[in-house]
Amino acid sequence: MGRVSGYEYDIFISYSRYGSAQKWLLNHFYSKLKDCLADEIAPAPRVYVDREMARGEHWPSSLQRALLRSKIMLQVLHPPYFESKWCMAEWLSMRERQNRLGLASVEAPQGLIYSVLYGDSDNFPIEAREVSWVDFKDFANPDMAFQQTEKFASFHWKVRDLARDLVELLKQVPEWQPDWPIVEKPDPVLMPPPKLPRFRR
């Protein structure tokens, strides 16, 4: 994408390291997304993912800068996402940016957060269920063997459509501001109680 002063990345990928989402992201989704983005526009959009950051590294000193310098956020949603303080800091920080810009509102429905659904959504917090997402649950196989299945071809086309959406969204991003809001210590997002199974008599 054309360089806008202050931005270093086009897309910031936000995900939880718990569960199988990280393995899926690094085995399949990340490389496929980069390839599909490159097929849509040149130069290819720059994608940030924290795959090399040490587990004990302080969030504000690494992810914070990357998020501040990213145009949009792509979040991989499944239940562990909302239990991660890092993911909550990323999500709430980008939501604050949207609020400041008046985006994701009645007047301007399009926001800066693009959501991919990886796992169960029944128990997501209300805030997460208020926005639309692209459902990838049918392709949520983290193992490399997935690439040898017939379903992987459908996965490719779904990522390609997603890449086209992201390219269009990137064209609407406002100019960078040095004082984008950052939420370093987010309040916990309360998860609704899990649905109880219904037993038939």
Tell me which of 13-17, 26-30, 156-160, 191-195 is least confident: 191-195
- For the ranges 75-79, 117-121, 126-130, the maximum mean pLDDT occurs at 75-79
Cβ–Cβ < 8 Å for 139, 151: yes
In a domain, 145, yes or no: yes
In a domain, 178, yes or no: no
pLDDT above 50 for 199:
no
Higher pLDDT, 88 or 160: 160
In a domain, 182, yes or no: no
CATH of the domain at 153: 3.40.50.10140
- When divided into structural domains, the chain yields a total of 1
Distance (Å, rounded) from C-alpha 181 to C-alpha 96? Answer: 6
Averaged pLDDT, 14-40: 95
Confidence at 201, pLDDT banded by 50, 70, 90: very low
Higher pLDDT, 197 or 144: 144
Averaged pLDDT, 135-142: 96
In a domain, 148, yes or no: yes
Averaged pLDDT, 180-193: 68
pLDDT the model gives residue 128: 84
In a domain, 4, yes or no: no
Tokens encoding 27? 């085995």
Rounded to the nearest 5 percent, the helix, strand and coil shares of the chain are: 40, 10, 45
Which domain covers residue 76, as residue numbers?
A: 9-170
In a domain, 189, yes or no: no
Residue among 96, 175, 91 nearest 133 (CA): 91
In a domain, 185, yes or no: no
- Round the average pLDDT of the chain to a whole number and report it: 86
Higher pLDDT, 10 or 103: 10
Residue among 75, 181, 51 nearest 125 (CA): 75
Confidence at 58, pLDDT banded by 50, 70, 90: low
